Structure 1
Amino acid sequence: MDLDLAQVRAFVATAEHLHFGRAAGELFLTQQALSKRVARLEDVLGVRLFDRTGHSVRLTAAGERFLEPARRALAAADDAIMAARRDDRPLRLDVWGHLFDPMRTIRRVVARRPDLPIEPNLKRGLSEVVTALRRGDGDVGFGRVHALDEPLPDGLAHRLVRLAPMAVVMGEAHPLAGAEALRPADLGGTTVWFPAEIGKLDFLDRFLAEFGLSGEFGGVNLGLDYFLDHLREEPRHVSLLPADVAVPADVRSVPLTEPVPLYSWSLIWRAREQHPVLRSLLAEFAAAAREHGWLEYDPAVHWLPATELDARPVRRPVPRPG
């Protein structure tokens, strides 16, 4: 029996989204075309892979058994394509959002496949990355994809790859430094500080507005060390960082809860003219997300800006057998 990899890819995308419309969007197919591919695969295998009841989609027992081998088959096929088409030029990965240390996520993904030829480049922001992609000067970008002054250009695709819980950071002299956890409401009597203009801090702007907090912005963003030095020296100020960013012993990082704010990291790339390494990179991000729970989201526990939920529904990890 020969498997059609396009059909297998349609199955895996649907299994990861548990939604035919979103899976079709990821693969740049119509929902009808995606449904036909899944149906043909079920005919070839002689089993049902999904239970479809009204608007609900879930894997059958056969679908759960088939999912991991299907992922491995696609990864092997992508590796074969990459090997046949590989040239000497590495994949150009443009990264932004440096204050929140995006490289810690890149490191964890690249460590899974150190053989992937990737060349990271630092960019100032999303607008610069979009310009580089449109000109063909970059292959893929990694950072926070948020609202710009104009919509993302046609022909660019993006995928949410990580939701990072945020923490409050402050100097050890701050009155809240001894807390084990803090709610956003607990920050009402203090000032949230960031070394940049609010227009460049889309996530923080929305966070402050949502929870009625006050912010102070000024100075030049000179990097994480300067940022932490300011918090040490100014006991009235707190700020936010992803909870897994390492801070020195004299700076406190306190988890946020009720709700837990999540910072979204995405990949963005040209939908056509893709570098041959891109599929493998996307597969490694997906594997890391499954392994580390990077896409876990519960609206009763977490907070995301409403515009992100509207624009990009969060994918929940696919339940595994047992």
Structure 2
Amino acid sequence: MDLDMAQVRAFVRTAEELHFGRAAGTLALSQQALSKRIARLESLLGTSLFQRGGNGVRLTDAGRLFLTPARQAMAADAAVAAVAGTDRPLRVDVWGHLYAPMRTLAQVAGRAGELVLGHGRDLPSVTAALLRGDIDAAFGRAHPPLPAGLSHRLIRLEPVDAALSADHPLAAETALRPDQLRDSVLWAPGALDRLDFLHRFADRFGIRQTATSVNLGLAHFLAEVAQEPRRFSLLPADVPRPEVPGLRSVPLVDPTPLYAWSLLRRTGNGHPGLHDLAAACAEEAGRSRWLEYDPAHD
């Protein structure tokens, strides 16, 4: 029986997540596409692999039996790719989409050979994909603890602005110290304990009041900031701003927070495109002064 590895991968990811939506997200698929892959695999095997019901998703007895050999098949597929796949494109994923990681990657992509891009949900899902061998490299903000088996390289340090309502009491300032925002409400696109940069900023500068939203894209998020005079959030200075009435961006100084972008890879991955990508990032960092850091001000 010839197995379609895309179907096997869809099964294994769903078995690990026990949630079709989350599994689809880690594979950069729609939930419908994921369900179709699993349905085709079940048809080929002649048995159901999952029980679907009001209490969620569970493996059937056949699904539990199939999981270990399915993982072994994926490992064998990754081994073949490692030996014979030097001509295949480099698979690169990103996370931290609200801060537009693609704009940085786009500046080096043309010098790094052929790339295939994914769209990971967050740092844990992307690091898991790296460790499984589903992708070769990842780009975004990394923070400890990182799993063993991954290497990390700092690529860019980007100054951060405060985005706030035009009716905010500090909106007329030409620059702000971070501690001037301590009586404002930090608006976050998700739970603060999952957003390490915002969490650290709040702790460091005594921001006591926070509130969370749902990440429905940058324009929607900034419109929510503009609606309330006491709200603010943080954006890298170079992120293109959508047209949002009633919104101001003010540089932060004394100190200027820097958002750190990094390149992650799995230790031992020998794809030649990894060297080309790292070299292109280093070249652009020197040209565009991406890694400038002044400890007296930053």
Scaled by the length of structure 1, the TM-score of the pair is 0.63
Matched, 1:190 2:190: no
**Percent identical:** 48
SS in 1 for 2:220: helix
1:243 to 229, 237, 242: 237
* 2:148 aligned with 1:146: no
Q: 1:92 maps to which residue? A: 91
Deviations, residues 207-233 of structure 1 (Å, cap 9, x unaligned) = 111111124232321121211110121
**1:1-322 counterparts in 2 under 5 A?**
86-87=86-87, 89-111=88-110, 113=111, 116-148=113-145, 151-153=146-148, 155-247=149-241, 248=243, 250=245, 251-302=247-298
Q: Which runs of 5+ in 1 are unaligned?
A: 1-84, 303-322
1:270 corresponds to which letter in structure 2?
R
Task: Provide the C-alpha distance between the structure 1 equivalents of 2:213 and 2:182, rounded to a whole number of angstroms.
Answer: 23
What SS does the aligned partner of 1:189 have?
coil
AA aligned to 2:96 is G
Structure 1 distance, partners of 2:116, 2:248, is 33
Q: Check whether the contact 1:170–1:231 (CA below 8 A) recurs between aligned residues.
A: yes
Count, aligned residues = 213
Q: Deviations over 1:112-166 (max 9, x none)?
A: x2x7201111111111111111111010010111124xx421x321100011110
Give me the whole-angstrom Cα distance separating, in 2, the residues matched to 1:190 and 1:222. 23
CA, structure 1 residues 86+134, in 2 after alignment: closer, same or farther (shift >3 Å)? Answer: closer
Unaligned runs of 5+ in 2: 1-84
1:249 Cα offset (Å): 6.0
Query: C-alpha deviations, 1:250-278, integer Å up to 9, x for none?
Result: 32111100000011110010121222211
Q: Deviating runs (4+, > 3 A) in structure 1?
A: none
Give the AA of the match of 2:297: V
In structure 2, how many angstroms separate the alpha carbons of the residues matched to 1:165 and 1:222?
Answer: 24
